[in-house]
Chains A and B, each alone.
Chain A
Amino acid sequence: DTGVSQDPRHKITKRGQNVTFRCDPISEHNRLYWYRQTLGQGPEFLTYFQNEAQLEKSRLLSDRFSAERPKGSFSTLEIQRTEQGDSAMYLCASSSPDTGLEQYFGPGTRLTVT
């Protein structure tokens, strides 16, 4: 499968714990995006990387959230001191330097905070 992949697909954690998600973009896609989707809503933008540089962050991305893309390939999203309101689907997308704006999504990581 050459599409965007995410790991894990599901994560259940207790309030206050830290969690980390991984996203592997489509090969040669230099742009990578993180979104959050709650039930009945469209995806909400969190942050965006071009290569290893984090170029944009949403106000939704509180101090407890941090994202990295150290080598310009895969990315990680960490949530510290999780809260019940963090329960959501975390989606990753990537786009190529050729098509630019077309974003292709991964299957997501569903986070449940108990």
Chain B
Amino acid sequence: GENVEQHPSTLSVQEGDSAVIKCTYSDSASNYFPWYKQELGKRPQLIIDIRSNVGEKKDQRIAVTLNKTAKHFSLHITETQPEDSAVYFCAASKSGSQGNLIFGKGTKLSVKP
């Protein structure tokens, strides 16, 4: 079946450094790729998303890139801050579905001050 693989599972960076999280999807018909941030005990929060007709999208310190040919997409966080520490999930839409998102297993990001 369709799946989304996410790497790394944990990532530790120094404050001010960049962080990159990568995901690979299997369903070539997927056309929507959101990223969620989940702090401990909180709801997943949509932070950025990209559609298959776009290669890159940026929102302040956060950017997402999409390579449809290779079926992978990445989250880039620049100038990391301690408040960026959280678990980040990537997801891909399931083809033929209006709402079924397939999530990766998450990346626990720790930003050390």
**Residues of chain A whose beta carbon lies under 8 Å from any beta carbon of chain B:** 4, 31, 33, 40-45, 48, 50, 55-56, 58, 91, 95, 100-108
Which chain B residues numbered 52 to 85 have a C-beta less than 8 Å away from chain A? none
Minimum Cβ distance to chain A for residue B57 (Å):
13
A42 pairs with B43, CB closer than 8 A: no
Docked pose: A31 CA to B41 CA in angstroms: 25
Q: Tell me whether A31 and B44 are in contact in the complex, defined as CB-CB below 8 angstroms, given that A101-B49, A102-B49 are known contacts.
A: no
* Residue in contact with B43 in the complex, picked from A40, A45, A102, A108, CB distance below 8 Å: A108
Q: Mark B84-101, 1 if CB is under 8 A from A, else 0.
A: 000001010110011111
Q: Across the interface, which residues of A come within 8 angstroms of B103, CB to CB?
A: 41-44
Q: Across the interface, which residues of B come within 8 angstroms of A91, CB to CB?
A: 43-44
Q: Mark B1-20, 1 if CB is under 8 A from A, else 0.
A: 00010100000000000000
Interface of B is mostly: strand
Docked pose: A75 CA to B53 CA in angstroms: 33
* Residue in contact with A48 in the complex, picked from B6, B98, B106, CB distance below 8 Å: B98
Q: Across the interface, which residues of A come within 8 angstroms of B45, CB to CB?
A: 105
Q: Across the interface, which residues of A come within 8 angstroms of B36, CB to CB?
A: 105
A41 pairs with B34, CB closer than 8 A: no
Docked pose: A31 CA to B102 CA in angstroms: 17
* Residue in contact with B99 in the complex, picked from A33, A41, A108, CB distance below 8 Å: A33
Minimum Cβ distance to chain A for residue B1 (Å):
9
> Which of B42, B51, B99 has the most chain A CB within a 10 Å cutoff?
B99
B105 pairs with A104, CB closer than 8 A: no
Q: Across the interface, which residues of B come within 8 angstroms of A108, CB to CB?
A: 43
A50 pairs with B104, CB closer than 8 A: no
